[in-house]
């Protein structure tokens, strides 16, 4: 194992280092004296650790901020562009790759189309090739890449880093962590995509400050990432949050999972498309017909949103129906997990109020008590990049999170 690579990650993980690093990160810049005050560490301890962090290139000094006359205090900031993390979002039809800095800002990204003819081995090779290419294109030394996070649709064993089942790609039991660490010599973290998204939102998006958070990814599939007491909730074998495969219509259409009437068959991408095509085949007048120009494959969340924005009744109705189904699932989730906040992300969530308003209405109507009815429901703060940033956050959260100290081996 390339110990210097593991080392760059490891060196951030002693108890007080992480504590201080995270305070520097979350404040955006802070003086040594303020750190000592906030952490209750002694000033000499803070000075020592700050020197180490400066030497390691993790923080930099600057002069800024309020000064009450006299000398301006020296501020410590994260040296965010000195180390990088790779985030990978494995979707149904494409894999997205990004290089982010230590503040989850995307430096470079790339997208590779895939289809279900891809084998498990092809999949591993694509990831290796693209990560190497990304590092090369960004012209960063390889030892500046401190970790890789992968958000993967389907069922994942995150502790072993194995993609157990990706139904839409028909891939099974890929030991991603083992294979990629062997080839690329950096720590690899693998998580279900909705869970990675929830973590990303809680660190860098609209979930900052919410300890009990559920993030729902609405795209081709529908999945929920559940964060309780700031910890991801995975269930016994990683199935928790698979709300897309909870039943919404007992007599419904067949789902990719083999069951009938799953939530994603009525409120996921294909459900929306089916609803539009059904109405068009009944002769309904709609702008969608003009927009697709005879090609039903053009029906997408984005196209429906475009029609809805122009006042198309059918498009608005399709989002409203999907929103009601999702709203019912959200109400169920509120009654099961009682989160303080729900974040709606994924491609279809870009329809904004067309989808979110009906979700909120259902929750207002059906949640059990006043507080539950008032559960905050917002759109993703990270938008199109939520899954990518979420994947990178799998590594970043571990690096900055104090609670991980001495509890987890890195490799
Ligand atoms: Zn299903």
Output the DSSP codes for 238-268. Answer: S-TT-GGGSBS-TT-PBPTTS-BSBHHHHHS
Domain residue ranges in the chain: 3-78, 84-200+391-404, 208-381
Query: What confidence score (pLDDT) does residue 227 get?
Result: 96
Per DSSP, the three-state class of 41 is: coil
Contact 386, 203 (CB under 8 A): no
**What is the CATH number assigned to the segment(s) 84-200+391-404?**
3.30.420.40
Q: How far does the centroid of ligand 1 lie from the alpha carbon of residue 256, in Å? A: 6
Per DSSP, the three-state class of 338 is: coil
Query: What confidence score (pLDDT) does residue 67 get?
Result: 57
How do residues 44-88 score in pLDDT, each as one tens digit? 999 999 999 999 899 999 876 555 666 778 999 999 999 999 999
Would the CATH topology of 3-78 be identical to that of 84-200+391-404? no
Q: How far does the centroid of ligand 1 lie from the alpha carbon of residue 109, in Å? A: 31
Q: Which two tokens stand for residue 234?
A: 């995975």
Residues of the chain with pLDDT under 70: 1-14, 64-70, 402-411
Query: What confidence score (pLDDT) does residue 65 get?
Result: 59
Cβ atoms < 10 Å from Cβ of 303: 18
Query: What confidence score (pLDDT) does residue 15 get?
Result: 74
Q: How far does the centroid of ligand 1 lie from the alpha carbon of residue 169, in Å? A: 14
Average pLDDT taken over every residue of the chain: 91
Q: How far does the centroid of ligand 1 lie from the alpha carbon of residue 264, in Å? A: 7
- Positive or negative torsion for Cα 278, 283, 287, 290: positive
Angle between helices 43-55 and 32-39 (to 10 degrees): 120
Q: How far does the centroid of ligand 1 lie from the alpha carbon of residue 323, in Å? A: 18
Phi and psi, residue 301, nearest 5°? -55, -40
**What is the CATH number assigned to the segment(s) 208-381?**
3.30.420.40
In angstroms, the CA 408 to CA 113 distance is 35
Query: What confidence score (pLDDT) does residue 17 get?
Result: 84
Tell whether domain 3-78 is in CATH 1.10.10.10.
Answer: yes
Query: What confidence score (pLDDT) does residue 245 get?
Result: 95
Q: How far does the centroid of ligand 1 lie from the alpha carbon of residue 344, in Å? A: 20
């Amino acid at each position: 194992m390339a110990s210097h690579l593991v080392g760059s990650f490891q060196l951030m993980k002693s108890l007080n280092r992480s504590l201080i690093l995270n305070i520097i990160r979350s404040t955006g810049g802070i003086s040594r004296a303020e750190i000592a005050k906030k952490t209750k560490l002694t000033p000499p301890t803070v000075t020592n650790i700050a020197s180490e962090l400066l030497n390691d290139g993790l923080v930099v000094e600057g002069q800024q901020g309020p000064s009450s006359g006299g000398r301006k205090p020296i501020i410590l900031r994260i040296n965010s562009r000195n180390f990088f993390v790779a985030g990978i979002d494995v979707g149904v039809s494409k894999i997205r790759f990004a290089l982010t800095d230590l503040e989850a800002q995307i430096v470079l990204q790339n997208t590779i189309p895939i289809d279900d003819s891809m084998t498990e081995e092809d999949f591993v090779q694509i990831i290796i090739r693209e990560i190497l290419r990304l590092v090369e294109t960004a012209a960063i030394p390889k030892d500046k890449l401190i970790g890789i996070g992968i958000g993967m649709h389907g069922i994942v064993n995150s502790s072993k880093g194995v993609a157990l089942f990706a139904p839409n790609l028909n891939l099974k039991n890929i030991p991603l962590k083992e294979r990629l660490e062997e080839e690329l010599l950096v720590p690899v973290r693998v998580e279900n995509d909705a869970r990675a998204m929830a973590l990303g939102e809680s660190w860098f998006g609209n979930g900052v400050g919410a300890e009990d958070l559920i993030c729902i990814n609405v795209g081709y599939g529908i999945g929920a990432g559940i964060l309780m007491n700031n910890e991801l909730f995975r269930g016994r074998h990683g199935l928790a949050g698979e709300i897309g495969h909870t039943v919404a219509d007992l007599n419904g259409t067949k789902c990719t999972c083999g069951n009938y009437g799953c939530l994603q068959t009525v409120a996921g991408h294909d459900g929306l498309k089916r609803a539009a095509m059904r109405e068009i085949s009944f002769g309904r007048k709609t702008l969608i017909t003009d927009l697709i120009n005879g090609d039903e494959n053009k029906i997408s969340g984005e196209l429906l949103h475009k029609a809805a924005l122009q006042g198309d009744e059918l498009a608005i109705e399709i989002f409203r129906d999907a929103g009601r189904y999702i709203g019912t699932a959200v109400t169920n989730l509120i009654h099961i997990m009682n989160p303080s906040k729900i974040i709606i992300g994924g491609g279809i969530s870009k329809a904004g109020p067309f989808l979110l308003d009906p979700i909120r209405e259902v929750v207002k109507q059906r949640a059990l008590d006043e507080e539950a009815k008032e559960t905050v429901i917002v759109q993703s703060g990270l938008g199109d990049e939520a899954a990518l940033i979420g994947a990178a956050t799998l590594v970043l959260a571990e690096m900055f999170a104090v609670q991980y100290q001495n509890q987890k081996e890195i490799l």
